[in-house]
Chains A and B, each alone.
Chain A
Amino acid sequence: MMMTVLLIIVGALIALFAIGVVSFKHPVASAVSLLVGFLLVGVFYLLYGAEFVAAVQVMVYAGGIMVLYLMGVLFTDNEWIHVTRQTHLQAWIGLVLILAFFAFFGHKLFHSEYPAIENVASQTVVQKENKAEEKLGYLKRETNPRSVSVKLFSDYLIPFEAASVLLTVAVVGGIFLAKKEV
């Protein structure tokens, strides 16, 4: 019960700050609300007991990517923001489409059953331990980096590698777009 209330509060705050990101007129205000949003997503992961993902979320998104965003934003010219309109007539069509999208996925989310996925790859990985490590009990725990990396490099290897290819494509594309002459 307590958990549900907390999840609803945090989820509502995330949604609020996400709206703030797109609706604030000032770019730095947008960036700061994006930062708070990232931190709150970390809290969301914590509430679900995924401490590892929460820490990585804060470290990578809040601590790394947001700094780059803010540095980019600081270089922008702040004079034009007061005269720019942020919406146009297509916004209404967009709103209708978004509502339809959420209705469709909400329906799918609540009215379908998901098959349990059996992962066997990680069970075949043999873990070697040296003499000193045999004394250390903590190596058997679930949140241990060893357990996390065994899962990551066996059961979830293909999504992991696919994400790395995606990131490489994004980096190359970014460099290509930023260059004036190729």
Chain B
Amino acid sequence: MDTLLNLWSTIESWMLAFPVVIYLVKIGILLGCVFAVVAYITLAERRLLGFYQSRLGPNRVGPLGLIQPVADGLKCFLKEDIVPLNSNPLLFRLAPVFAFFPPFAGFAVFTFALPWVMPNGRTYHYSVADVDLGVLFIMAISSLGIFGLILAGWSSGSKYPLFGSLRSASQMLAYEVPLTLSVISVVMMAGSFRLSDIVAAQQAYKFYFFIPCIIGFVVYFISSVAEMNRTPFDLPEGESEIIGFHTEYSGMRFAFFFVAEYANVVFISMLAPALFLGGYDIPFVNDLALYGAHPNIVSILGVCSYAAKSTIFALFVIWVRATFPRYRYDQLLKIGWLVLLPIALANLFVVAGIKLFLLK
């Protein structure tokens, strides 16, 4: 034990000399975890959809089909990468990157638990960069994902992807507004854009924000399903029937869009608990009092609690996909502009009223 601690303090002093190293290590761990989760959420979804539809789902590769994501990745990697003659080659190659980076960049501002305390008293935070404007950063970054779709559709140099991308662009524009408004109701309750502050506010109020912002939570759920392009709003993808923006893409570049979509699912399922469900707060326990006694136990339990909440949210998203049929395009836009937007605005007034008159 002592030798381990000595080794650690050597590593620590070396890391403190180059603070960049700490960030690089944190980013590496975070990206590794996110990629693993993204790989296995595809498998979980396919197995669960099989279960809902009374069939088996992929169970051949490895025990219970657990190596299936690796097989999928290899298959996409080995396929021929085609760039259509009629396309704009630069933008055609750039578009998957535009779709790919926003969900992964957004993870940087998450905080996953109360800080870990080392035996020598130094604390380590479960976040890469817990910036003051975390929620605003997430909104700004995720509003850039839409360019991946538009540029992919246009640069393919073919009519159908172009129409597909126009459809998806107007869908994502329509649902980004209610999504942002529902998030703003949480920011109003907490009085801060920082994600760890929002969780701290939920701990201080002793209730989670989905209780005062229940309308906002529902709006958030519906519009984030639409932003993720999933059933019942999967018109941009329409995997088997509708021609979408990524029709001309093949092999690895198609996989980029696919991974980006599932990274978005993971991202939304990790953001929702922090905003509405208390984040790393352990339900029915006074975390802060316990943190004074055993910081590290609370840290570990906090990570588990966060993971459990986001897993439940992600399973709910998959369940919705298995349950509802797809909306028609005009219905989709009507729901966005004429139903969700007024409800989200009304929710702002309700939450402001609750904060002004009920919480004294």
Contact = CB atoms under 8 A, between A and B. Distances in A.
Contacts of A138: 191-192, 194, 197, 200
A9 B166 CA distance: 35
Contact of A71 (B131, B166, B206): B166
B116 interface: no
Contact of B131 (A35, A51, A70, A74): A51
A138 B195 CA distance: 12
A59 B143 contact: yes
Interface of B is mostly: helix
A130 B133 contact: no
Contacts of B133: 51-52, 55, 143
A136 B359 contact: no
A133 interface: yes
B123 interface: no
A87 B192 CA distance: 50
A136 B166 contact: no
Contacts of B176: 63
Contact of A131 (B132, B200, B360): B360
Interface of A is mostly: helix
A10 interface: no
Contacts of A66: 147
B91 interface: yes
Interface string A66-88: 11101100100000000000000
13 contacts: A52-B133, A55-B136, A56-B140, A58-B143, A62-B143, A63-B143, A68-B173, A71-B166, A71-B170, A74-B162, A132-B201, A136-B197, A143-B133
Interface of B: 88, 91, 131-133, 136-137, 139-141, 143-144, 146-147, 150-151, 153-154, 162, 165-166, 169-170, 173, 176, 187, 191-194, 197, 200-201, 204-206, 355, 359-360
The 3 A-B residue pairs with the shortest CB-CB distance, nearest first, are A63-B143, A58-B140, A55-B136
Given A67-B169, A145-B187, 4 more contacts: A32-B151, A63-B144, A71-B170, A145-B193
